[in-house]
Amino acid sequence: MIELIPPAYILIAAAILIGLTRGYLRTAIVLGAPLLTLVAIWLIPDGVVTTFSFLGYQIEPLEGSPLRRLFATIFALMAFGGGLYAFRQAHWYELAAAYAYAAGAVGVSFAGDLITFFVYWEFMALFSTIVVWCGGTSSARAAGIRYAIMHLLGGIILKVGILGVVISTGSVDVRPMLATDFSTWMILIGLLINAAAPPVSAWLSDAYPEASPTGSVFLSAFTTKTAVLALIMLFPGEPILIGVGLYMVVYGIIYALLENDARRILAYSIINQVGFMVCAVGIGTQMALNGAAAHAFAHIIYKALLFMSAGAVIYRTGKGKCTELGGLFRTMPLTAACGIIGALAISGFPLTSGFTTKTMISQAAADQSLVTVYFLLAAASAGVFLHAGIKFPWFVFFQRDSGLRPKDAPWNMSAAMVLFSLLCLLIGIFPQLLYNFLPYPVEYQAYKAGKVLFYLQLLLFSGLAFFLLLPLMRRTLTISLDTDWLWRVVLNRVADAGYEALATTGSIMETGVSKALAGFHEITGRYFRPKQKEDREQQGIFAQTWSIGATALWIAVLLTGYMLVYFI
């Protein structure tokens, strides 16, 4: 029966077949598999679909719900957009890894029990690491290793938590909980590591910009948003998430403002945007959870679009830093236009998807009378326009004339960008299309004259602030220290110091040992050393050649001694 095919299996099969096929057949698989996955996703009814027993636990690899279908849908759409963007430029192994990575995200979406959930979760960690490595440079390899260590660590913490919960409750069901004891805290921490929450947010901005121009498009979509889905399913209304989310929102803006690398600016703004969602999950009302889900959906599209636009620039020019770029609108008008649409969408400009989804989160904060949260989110919306909405397109496509005159993006990259731009506008102009699929019924009017006017004032005056403060934002050839300094430098120093201490102890011991050996050598040498003098007279007592008679005498003495000892 067709409805029993788990959607993740289709993408896994595609990942394998991508490696085995060539030419048009591979293209057909790359573009066809995500569409097939979409069909499979929409055939899954609500509730647990399949179940079997494993080690005495009830495993539910497929459980449907509107929320799960929504996330799986955007993951499959993302695989299609990413595949279209990448299939002519990326290596086959990068495409295969990216599809396996997407399969992990779809698998997590439908996981009805914590064991299946964990397996797909680690599946994602594994294949996303490979996508980072496909960057191909030595810094990509190093960043990939740091990325893998962080995610394996997060996986272990999550595993500890899951085991604790399973032991204390006896059930492996995925169901809402609160961080009240050790096990639930471990699960929450494990999930938050993947959401790039503090204090380990740095893994994201460290790894994603090191991937290939096509790889970072895939990376931008899955890991953090699966974490948001997991938080909605496991920790709705967990108050600590409000604080964590607000921190991420501000952190993303400040670091993006300091950044010079175009893709790293976008990476920081992922953390900023995921902060909005994490905060919404913390608020936990139906409106807030709808907002988190809708914003994740819209975010995947416009963030991938921004990474596509940056990727096309890097693909054509080989450069990714604001200080090297500028003036590209002349020869890359389509890439610039799509980049600007993505930038407007992330800023939540009216008529784009960001406006119709992000304002739901603000509305939820206002409904709960969370004054500080509401105003911080409003300030952050202004900040997003500042750091991503204007800064990214301005420094890449306008600013000064860098003298670069690259061709516009290849046709498949352009097609993917146009498709995602249209989706940004579609959700912005007809928000009901998305609202119909949200987990809870929506009674929210995105477009009210007063609200639109408020956001227009907020955003346009942020724009004014940007251009007036431009002298303060001159790009420099720098990076910004983050908490990863602790393990990339301090831990390295500690390790070096450890090696040094070991080496010193070793050399002290070595000197001692070699002195002792020398002494021993001296003593033994007196008896055994066959050192020859100039007159060939031999030195060591036992090293001298003896006559046969003397040897026979000594053997007789030894045998007599032996017999005496034996009989006594």
Partner 1 sequence: MSDQQKEEHWLVRPDTIRLLWKVFIAILALTVLAQLVIGVKGYFGVDGWFGFGAAFGFLSCLIMVVVAKGLGFVLKRDEDYYREQTCDD
As a residue count, the chain comes to: 568
DSSP run (H or E) holding 162: helix 138-169
Q: Output the smallest distance, CB 398 to partner 1, in A.
A: 8
Q: Note whether 318 binds partner 1 by CB under 8 A.
A: no
Q: Closer to partner 1 at the Cβ: 17 or 486?
A: 486
Q: Note whether 548 binds partner 1 by CB under 8 A.
A: no
Q: Note whether 486 binds partner 1 by CB under 8 A.
A: no
Half-sphere exposure in the Cβ direction for 349 (13 Å, CA): 22
Q: 149-153 — which CB contacts under 8 Å span 24+ positions?
A: 150/193, 150/200, 150/203, 151/125, 151/193, 151/194, 151/203, 152/125, 153/193
Q: Closer to partner 1 at the Cβ: 99 or 374?
A: 374
Backbone angles phi, psi at 121, to 5 degrees: -60, -45
The residues in 396-415 that bind partner 1, with binding defined as CB under 8 A, are 401
Q: Note whether 258 binds partner 1 by CB under 8 A.
A: yes
DSSP strands (E only) in 77-174: none
CA dist 537 → 32, 122, 530, 543 (Å): 92, 75, 10, 11
Instruction: Identify the bridge partners of residue 63 per DSSP, sorted by sequence position.
Output: 48
Q: Closer to partner 1 at the Cβ: 481 or 516?
A: 481
Contact characters 433-472, partner 1, x per CB under 8 A: ---------------xxxx-xxxxxxxxxxxxxx--x--x
Q: Output the smallest distance, CB 252 to partner 1, in A.
A: 11
Q: Closer to partner 1 at the Cβ: 169 or 372?
A: 372
Q: Note whether 293 binds partner 1 by CB under 8 A.
A: no
Q: Note whether 160 binds partner 1 by CB under 8 A.
A: no
Q: Note whether 489 binds partner 1 by CB under 8 A.
A: yes
Look at residues 270, 170, 279 and name the one whose alpha carbon lies nearest to residue 235.
279
Tell me how many residues contact partner 1 (CB under 8 A).
49
Q: Which residue has the tokens 């990214």?
A: 392
- Mapping DSSP to helix (H, G, I), strand (E, B) and coil, where does residue 64 land? strand
Q: Closer to partner 1 at the Cβ: 73 or 462?
A: 462
Q: Please choose, out of 48-56, 236-244, 286-294, 366-374, the segment that lies near partner 1 by the rule CB under 8 A.
A: 366-374
CB 165 within 8 A of CB 183: yes
Q: Closer to partner 1 at the Cβ: 54 or 485?
A: 485
* Of positions 153, 379, 425, 426, contacts partner 1 by CB under 8 A: 379
Q: Output the smallest distance, CB 380 to partner 1, in A.
A: 8
Sign of the Cα torsion 441, 447, 452, 455 reads positive
Q: Note whether 4 binds partner 1 by CB under 8 A.
A: no
* Of positions 488, 528, 529, 539, contacts partner 1 by CB under 8 A: 488
Q: Output the smallest distance, CB 270 to partner 1, in A.
A: 18
Q: Output the smallest distance, CB 408 to partner 1, in A.
A: 15
Q: Note whether 27 binds partner 1 by CB under 8 A.
A: no
Q: Return the C-alpha torsion angle 219, 220, 223, 226, nearest 10.
A: -140
Burial call 111-141: b when 16+ CB within 10 Å, e when fewer: bbbbbbbbebbbbbbbbbbbbbbbbeeeebe
CB 402 within 8 A of CB 320: no
CA dist 198 → 147, 207, 292 (Å): 15, 16, 19
Q: Output the smallest distance, CB 451 to partner 1, in A.
A: 8
Q: Note whether 492 binds partner 1 by CB under 8 A.
A: yes
Q: Output the smallest distance, CB 146 to partner 1, in A.
A: 10
Q: Please choose, out of 165-173, 221-229, 374-382, 518-526, the segment that lies near partner 1 by the rule CB under 8 A.
A: 374-382
Q: Please choose, out of 119-127, 161-169, 410-418, 489-497, the segment that lies near partner 1 by the rule CB under 8 A.
A: 489-497
Q: Closer to partner 1 at the Cβ: 183 or 363?
A: 363
Q: Please choose, out of 158-166, 352-360, 425-433, 487-495, the segment that lies near partner 1 by the rule CB under 8 A.
A: 487-495
Backbone angles phi, psi at 61, to 5 degrees: -65, -20
* Residue 432: alpha-carbon gap to chain centroid: 31
CB 289 within 8 A of CB 357: no
Q: Note whether 329 binds partner 1 by CB under 8 A.
A: yes
Q: Could you list the residues that contact partner 1 (CB under 8 A)?
A: 253-254, 257-258, 327, 329-330, 366, 371, 374-375, 378-379, 382-383, 386, 401, 448-451, 453-466, 469, 472-473, 476-482, 488-489, 492, 496
